[in-house]
Amino acid sequence: MDNPIIQLAAETGIRRSETFELRWKHMNLDCKTAHLSSLVETELSRTALLSQKAIQLLKNWSRRCADESSPP
């Protein structure tokens, strides 16, 4: 499994729709949590726990994004 979004969803139980709405400002890596806002009016927002593997995935993803945006 090479896709970090799929890996994050599998590791945390975050729904597919939630992964696309997730932003860095929603995450607290020190507390190992991600705040998930509901897109559906009938559902409440929730907090997902981030495992050590999920945190490592996010850190690697962040580094990879930074590397891709750096000028050559």
| Residue 49 within any structural domain of the chain | yes
For residue 70 the two structure tokens come to 């750096």
Helices 4-12/52-69 angle, 10° precision = 160
- In the chain, the number of structural domains is 1
Coil, helix or strand at residue 64: helix
Where in the sequence is the domain holding 14, given as residue range(s)?
A: 4-57
> Quick one: 12 exposed, middle or buried, by C-beta within 10 A (0-12, 13-18, 19+)?
buried
Q: Tell me, what's the pLDDT at 37?
A: 78
The reported pTM is 0.74
Cβ(1)–Cβ(10) under 8 Å?
Answer: yes
| Residue 8 within any structural domain of the chain | yes
| Residue 12 within any structural domain of the chain | yes
pLDDT per residue as tens digits for the range 16-65: 778 888 888 999 999 999 998 766 665 678 899 999 999 999 998 888 87
Q: Tell me, what's the pLDDT at 41?
A: 61
Q: Tell me, what's the pLDDT at 56?
A: 93
| Residue 44 within any structural domain of the chain | yes
> Quick one: 50 exposed, middle or buried, by C-beta within 10 A (0-12, 13-18, 19+)?
buried
Would you say residue 72 has pLDDT above 60? Answer: no
| Residue 23 within any structural domain of the chain | yes
pLDDT per residue as tens digits for the range 10-21: 889 888 778 888
